[in-house]
Structures are given as structure tokens and as C-alpha cells.
Chains A and B, each alone.
Chain A
Amino acid sequence: MEGSSYIVSREDWSLHRKGELDQQRHREKVREAIKKNLADIITEESIIMSDGKKIIRVPIRSLEEYRFRHNYRSQKHAGTGRGDSKVGDVIGSDPSASGGPGKGKGAGEEPGVDYYEADVNMEELSEMVFENLKLPDLKEKQNKKLASEALEFRDIRKKGLQGNIDRKRTLLEVLKRNAMEGKPGIYGIKPDDLRYKTWETSFKYESAAVVIAMLDTSGSMGPFEKYIARSFFFWMVRFLRSKYQQVEIVFLAHHTEAKEVTEEEFFTKGESGGTRCSSVYELALKLIEQRYSPTDYNIYAFHFTDGDNLSSDNEKCVKLVNKLLEYCNLVGYGEIEGPYYYTSTLKTAFRRIENPKFTTVSIRDKNGVYPALKAFFSDKRENSTVRMMQSYEE
């Protein structure tokens, strides 16, 4: 031998799960982080523009491993060219800085951009969001005629269809019987041992809801304002879908006049000119009358604007909103505080409306969407309890 030895071996590693275990802990931390930053995360573009994807990527900044490090952006780095590089050549660009809000495609491949992106299951995320939302306790709709039958397997019987045999319970019966006879074991199935799963019919009342999404598309509403509205409606529709079997959504855009538009137009098209909000309320009322009778539909109307309404129109708006409230489960008014500031906004006028079904919210930035959702879908009675407790503490 030449003095140095070697061994080749191959072990059984099947019980080595350290990586998996720590990964699980990491996943738990991701979940915690998402929960803590819901307000920030739910307006991520990757979600709002997800188009029904089940898994989405969201940046989670709190799970970076922080340490003292140099500022990558101001630092110079070395690279290797193909032989013809020159000073001033562009060798790549940082996609995270270009374009709309929160864009970050392929960020991981770029140098220095290393914030952590987690894959999140849309369903799981929705669950977390909806945990804090409630459909206010409102009167039952009258539309019970839309009843449908649903089958639920929740009974076990001795007779039934062969296809519905409950193997586990049957074998348990065999085991029990044999044990009682003194010879435990699973053998010799007798007809008496057979167990079948059986269903019960339950009647479900199919309920439908319609969201009347109203948006001010006048000149003062920019892409940011529309994005806010879009995020809000995205989650609103999702939430209602978890409560109702059928949720429709109609899009009404308005400036001084209102019209029904497609979703695409709703979120992209901009118009110029002034604003008359009463026009869209009138259109909403007309639609309810023609297509969405309150006896058949749970109606949720929400209107986004920057509040820059013709002051002469405000009075009419109040009247129309009051009328809408007669038909709708909830009416919401969201004012997006843009760069301009209006002293006399529609919101001030709406202060007079005192109806638990009516909510007004102001949203200043992306993080405001979640609180707005919570304000809109909250149990008003619960709120009042909170208020009582507070006064008690005083």
C-alpha cells in the first residue's frame, strides 16, 4: 500500500431528515411572517394579478438573515466579459426597480437582490385574510326558493350499497367478533360484520350575491388609485365567494356620467373631466331594479373615488345612498387620499348617514386596503361591545 487509504461506502440515509425538519420550522416562520404582515402582503401585485394561480410568490422581508454588510448597490463588483467588453457597457438591469408597484420578477437571479420570496398557497393566504373578516349579522334573504339538495355521508348502517362499504369499520367488527369468540384476529368476514357508509340529504339554500363595483374614472384617479380599488375588489369578491355559492360582479365606471364596463376597461381606462357621483348611484339603483332583485341577491355595493365631487351634487348623493341602503346588504364608500387635498369631500357629506350597513373608509396607501376590508366586513355588533368595554374601563 502507498500509505493513504480510502473507503467507499453507501449508508442508509432514509432516517436523516434534518433539512426537512428545519425547513418545516422555516415554513412556520413564513406563515407567522405573513400573518404579521397581511396588510402589506395582500396588495402584492403577484397576488392581485395572479389570475387564479394557486401558488403565488410574495416577498417576505422579515425573514432575511440580517447582519452587518456592505451596501451592494453602491459597491463595485467584478465580472467576466466575452473578450470585447468596454467601459459603459450595460451587462444587465435590475428589474425590481423598473415599472409598477412591487414588481420583482426573477429578482433572485440579479446580483444583490436577495430578499426572500416565499411560495404561498392562495387558499391558505385567503384563510388567513378571512379569519378577520365577518359578514355582518344581517337579515336573512327571502330567496329560499333557490334551495338545492346536497348529499353528506355521515351515517354508518348495516345495509347499503356495495360500493359504499366502510372497510375499516367492517374489519373492526370482524376483529371484535373474533375477539369475543376467544380467537382475536382478522379473518372470516360474515354478512353481519359488514358496515356501509350512508348519506343524508341536506337542503342547502343556494344564495347568490352581487358586488356592484363602482369606480370614479375621472382625471384625478391615477393608476395608483385604481390599483388600490382593484386590490380591494379582488379580496372582496374572494371573500364573498367563500360565503355564497354564486358571486357576480358588475363594474360601473363614472365621471360625470356612469356606464357599465368590462373588468378590463374598469381597471385600465382613464377618462378626463369632472366628477358627479350621483350618476353612478343612479345606475346602480337601475341595475338592482332590472337585474339584481334584492329578494334574490345579496347586494354589496362599493364605491371608490378621491372624493372630488361637484359640491352641488353631494346632496343628491346622500339621498341616493340612503336609497341604495334599502336594497343592499352593505354599502361602502372608499376615499383614496391622493396627492390633492380637498376640504369639502363627499365623505363629509356622508357623515350624516347613520346606518350600520353603511361604511366609509379612507385609504392612503397600499397598506390601507386590509384595514378597509376589515372595516367593511366587520360585525357591527361586535364593535359596539368593544365600545361598551372601553367605557366600562373608564
Chain B
Amino acid sequence: MNNMSGEIKELERAIEEIIHIAKGLGLDFYPMRFEICPAEIIYTFGAYGMPARYTHWSFGKAYHKLKMQYDFNLSRIYEMVINSNPCYAFLLEGNSLIQNKLVVAHVLAHCDFFKNNAWFRNTNRDMLESMSIAAQRFRSYELRYGRERVEQFLDAVMAIQQHINPHHSIKEPGPKKRDCCSERRQTPYDDLWDLDKPKGCSCGSGCHKKTRRFPEKPERDLMLFMMKHAKDLEEWQRDIISVLRDEMLYFWPQMQTKIINEGWASYWHVRIMRELDLDEWEAVEFAKMHAGVIQPSTKSINPYYLGIKIFEDIEKRWDNPSEEERQKYNRKGGEGREKIFEVRSIDNDVSFIRNYLTKELVEELDLYLFRRVGHDYKITDKDWETVRDGLIKNLTNCGVPYIVVENGDYGKRGELYLKHCYEGLELDVVHLEKTLPHVYLIWGRPVHLETKIDEKPVLFSYDGEKITKKFI
């Protein structure tokens, strides 16, 4: 025990120093709560995404998978950091002091990102509490309505939980007033507008009630739409949809800033560690760990690697602009730091890559696109713009297919008509056919999904008994 508190003392001294350095470098973060946890706990948090969340078997499955990888020494989660105020960071028990130093530096940069990146502006910083309270409520539903029922409903809602509108806080221009006649004339010439209106309005001035569409405009927030309009849901079921939607809204900014956020944190842990007085052994340990974290992969993009490389490149280009950049963009030079702080404030992965992944960088990092050809994965593209656009395509909408509610009263039978906004990426038909029954369970009436296969529009339907598919 003595030894343990000695260790904590030492860690506290290190944290003090690191916080001091980080602030000196301009990082701005919330008060920090560092918590040292055993592996089981940190892997539990990893699987649930949060320390306290509702109960579901899929989290158990994820936990098992993570824990196995840890037990077999295949991967190690050194830390987990929560977007909250104060900011919680969980450190893996058994991390060495030097590992913890790197982790703390990394975590401070994440927290700076959470606090200052525009995409996080509307996240609920008390989510920890909200989730834990919701979990208790779900538990009470289990007791009241039966575990099976709650689980089955959760299965269904989780199947569509990614279909939210993350920009819900951006107010759409309110619907124009229905009754054109109530609009006040402001100028003597306002009657000119009436020329645009179709004839035959009941009010006699040229407008008429259009056949109402429901929803008025295609709605991308399936969760919200179903929560509001599914007819036969009970209160507790609407609550479950509402909670899962809030949680997804909370996680969404993290999902859309994976590369930029990890890049930012990796950029800073290197800078902060360089400021520390490390002995030879510590320096080697740090280098090893850093190399492990940013190791590139042939079959995927390591966000740590791509992120740190882009940040370093931006800094370089704004510190020492080329002649062309000086003239064309009026870059004075020496503005690297300032620039990367600006980038961390306003960009997400898509804009980060669109704006800052250059031709030189694509070539230097040897990025490519690959796809399955027969049984093999083959490189298909090396052209930098194609690679960049391919990356962006996969990151758009966090990689989730863009699906909207086209009609909530299809066939005037209250059926749900969804439409996949096809942009060249087909849906996984196996998954599609297994997901429709989940949607049906929530909606309570037949559901349809329009998508494209081989460039031909197809309608999948589920009526409670079987899936049908027809070309339209």
C-alpha cells in the first residue's frame, strides 16, 4: 500500500509538470480527473464507450473481444478519456510511469480538443450522469416489462441508432405559413408574388392546399421520426429511442473527428514529452510506445498516423511557405502553431482531409485505395485526388449510409417508406434484410426501403412475415 501511494505521488508530480508544460504550449482543457483502473474496468469502459451505460448483450460481446485481445497481449488500451467537464481520464493500472506520462500528455490534448473544437460545442458535458440515470431507468423497465421485451426493443433501436441528424441544433428556416392569405402585404407591389401561385386556392387569392407530404421534407433523423410518429409505442419505448438518440448525438462528434483528434493528441504528446527530462531508458520506452501508436497499416488508415502527419505538414507549410504560397495566399511564414490551433477549432475529419491532405503528403505517406478483386485485396488507385476523395467518401456521415424517411404514410396505410440516398456505394443486402424487421418492430407496420443495386432502383419491403424485393 505504501508503495502504491508512493507511485501515485510520483505520478502526481509528473502530471503537475505535464499540465504546466501543456498550458505553456497553449493547450486549454477542463479540470482533470485521473482515475487508475484495473484492466477489466478500462476494457469495460472501452466496450460501453462510457463508464456507466445501459445493459445490452452486444456490450458484453464487445467487452469479451477487447478483453481477449488484452489477455493474449494483442492490444492494450492505455487510457480512455471522456468528453466531460471535469474531464475524466482512466489510466490502465500497470502502466509504467513513463507510459503514464505519455498518456497524460495525450489525454490533455484530447481534452483541449473536446473543449475547443466547434463540433463539440453542443455536446452534453454531463453525459456521464445522464447515461447513468438512463441506465437505471432502463433497469426499471426490465423489471416492469420483462428483460426479453426490453432487450428485443433495444436490439431494434440499436440497429438504427446511427440514423440521427447530428446537425439538429442548426435551425432550419421555419415552415412558411400555410395560409397564404394571412400574409400581410407590406408593399403595394406584393400582389406580384401571387402570379407564382397555382390557381384555384380556396381563399380565392391564388394559393391552394397542396396534398400534404408526411414528412414535409425527407427526414434523415429516423430515430426522431420514429420516436414521434410510430403509432403503437409505449412511453418507455419512446424513452429508449430518445435516450439512444441523445447518446448518439453525444458520440457523433467523436466519430467524425477520429483522425483529427487522435492526430492532435499524438502531435502534442510528442511535443510535451520532448520538454520533459527523460533518462535514456525512458526515452527509448517513449519512442517505442509512440512508434507502436502511430504504426501505419496496409489495410486501413491508422488515424493517429494520418492525423499527426497532416498536422505536422500544416505546421511546416505555414511556418515556411513556398514562394507561391507567399504570393498567392499571402502567407507570411512563422504562423504554423497559430494555424494548427485554428484547424483544431474548426475542422472535422472530412474537412481536415479535404483541406489539408496534399499531393505531396499522399505520395510521402504512400496512401492508396484498394478493393476486393476475386479473393485478393488489390490496390486500385494511387492518384492523389482519387485517394483523397475516396477517403472522404468513406468518412462522410461517419461511414453510415444516408437514409431518409421519404413517406411516413406510404400507400395511405401508415407504412414507412425509407430511401437510401445512393451515391455510388451499395448497401450490404444481408444486413439490410436483417435490419428491416427491426425497423418493423419499432414502426409497427410494414416498412420499405428504396436503394440501388447495380445502378437499378430496388424496393425492399418487410410486412411482418417476409422480405420481398422488387425492381422499380
Contacts and interface: CB of A to CB of B under 8 A. Distances in A.
B380 A76 contact: yes
Taking residues whose C-beta sits less than 8 angstroms from the other chain, chain B's interface range is 35 or more
Interface in B290-330: 296-302, 305-306
Interface stretch (B273-281, B334-342, B366-374): B366-374
Interface in B415-458: 420, 425-429, 431-432, 434-435, 438, 449
17 contacts: A4-B31, A5-B32, A9-B34, A25-B57, A26-B60, A68-B163, A71-B429, A74-B426, A78-B367, A78-B368, A79-B298, A80-B297, A80-B298, A80-B365, A84-B366, A86-B382, A87-B382
Interface stretch (B119-127, B242-250, B393-401, B463-471): B393-401
Given A4-B23, A23-B63, A87-B382, A77 B371 contact: yes
A18 B135 CA distance: 12
Given A2-B19, A80-B301, 16 more contacts: A4-B30, A5-B32, A11-B37, A13-B40, A16-B44, A21-B55, A28-B57, A65-B58, A68-B432, A76-B381, A80-B297, A83-B366, A90-B376, A111-B377, A112-B372, A116-B61
A26 B58 contact: yes
A389 interface: no
Interface of B: 4, 8, 11-12, 15-16, 19-20, 23, 29-38, 40-41, 43-44, 47-48, 55-61, 63-64, 67, 93, 158-160, 162-163, 296-302, 305-306, 365-372, 374-382, 387, 390-391, 394, 399-401, 403, 420, 425-429, 431-432, 434-435, 438, 449
Which 8 residue pairs are nearest across A and B when measured between Cβ atoms? A22-B60, A19-B44, A81-B366, A23-B60, A80-B296, A26-B60, A66-B434, A19-B63
Nearest to A4: B31
B264 to A, nearest CB: 18
Interface string A59-82: 000011111111111111111111
A27 B60 CA distance: 9
B367 A70 contact: no
A28 to B, nearest CB: 8
A390 B314 CA distance: 79
A26 B62 CA distance: 10
Contacts of B378: 88-91
Interface of A: 2, 4-11, 13, 16, 18-29, 63-94, 97-98, 110-112, 116
A67 B272 CA distance: 41
Given A13-B41, A90-B378, A6 B31 contact: yes
Contacts of A10: 4, 8, 35-36, 93
Contact of B36 (A9, A28, A86, A110): A9
Given A2-B23, A67-B435, A81 B375 contact: no
Contact of A68 (B35, B160, B302, B381): B160
B379 A23 contact: no
A66 B161 CA distance: 11
Contact of B60 (A25, A81, A89, A112): A25
A116 B365 CA distance: 33
Given A76-B390, A91-B379, A69 B60 contact: no
B370 A79 contact: yes
Nearest to B306: A80
B394 A78 contact: yes
A94 B375 contact: yes
A29 B365 CA distance: 44
Nearest to A18: B44
A27 B61 CA distance: 8
Contact of A70 (B4, B15, B63, B425): B425
Contacts of A13: 37-38, 40-41
A122 B10 CA distance: 49
